[in-house]
């Protein structure tokens, strides 16, 4: 599955001042990990934002935003944002800031243990 490279470039640039950012290919798109936690990414043509459950209700009311459903399963605290929701620089930055604000509160992914032989 292809993803919007221009949107990924915008996110990469927006996160350039952050420490400990890792870009990973996943979900058929790209995800930006901040401090070893999923933060923001691109799936198809949409931005995937980890906003947390406390900001979810306000976020979902914004134009171009919908609940993230991956493999037909809703993901709590995650949303997709279409182009409609991030046309202006201010709107785009709103989503980046919301993701970064939630990041310190987010749980890190569990590390996969390597089986010893």
pLDDT confidence band for 107 (50 / 70 / 90):
confident
Residue 73 parent element (H or E): strand 73-81
pTM over 0.85: yes
Rounded-to-integer distance, Cα 35 and Cα 18, Å: 9
Would the pLDDT of 12 be above 70?
yes
Question: Is the sign of the CA dihedral 38, 97, 68, 29 positive or negative?
Answer: negative
Would the pLDDT of 41 be above 60?
yes
% of the chain surpassing 90 pLDDT: 78
How many residues comprise the chain?
117
**Assigned token pair, 85:** 């929701």
Rounded-to-integer distance, Cα 27 and Cα 113, Å: 21
Task: Say which residue the tokens 């995650």 belong to.
Answer: 78
* β-bridge mates for residue 31, sequence order: 24, 41
Would the pLDDT of 89 be above 60?
yes
pLDDT recorded at residue 21 = 96
> Could you tell me which residue, 112 or 79, shows the higher pLDDT?
79
Cβ pair 32, 91 in contact under 8 A: no
Q: What is the mean pLDDT of residues 9-16?
A: 96
């Amino acid at each position: 599955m292809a993803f919007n490279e221009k949107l990924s470039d915008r996110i990469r640039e927006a996160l350039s001042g952050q420490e400990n950012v890792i870009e990973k290919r996943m979900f058929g798109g790209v995800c930006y990990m901040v401090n070893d936690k999923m933060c923001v990414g691109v799936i198809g043509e949409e931005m995937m934002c980890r906003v947390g459950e406390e900001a979810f209700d306000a976020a979902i009311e914004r134009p171009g935003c919908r609940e993230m459903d991956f493999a037909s399963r809703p993901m709590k605290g995650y949303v997709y944002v279409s182009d409609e929701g991030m046309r202006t620089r201010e709107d785009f930055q709103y989503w980046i800031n919301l993701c970064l604000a939630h990041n310190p509160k987010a749980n890190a992914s569990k590390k996969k243990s390597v089986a010893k032989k």
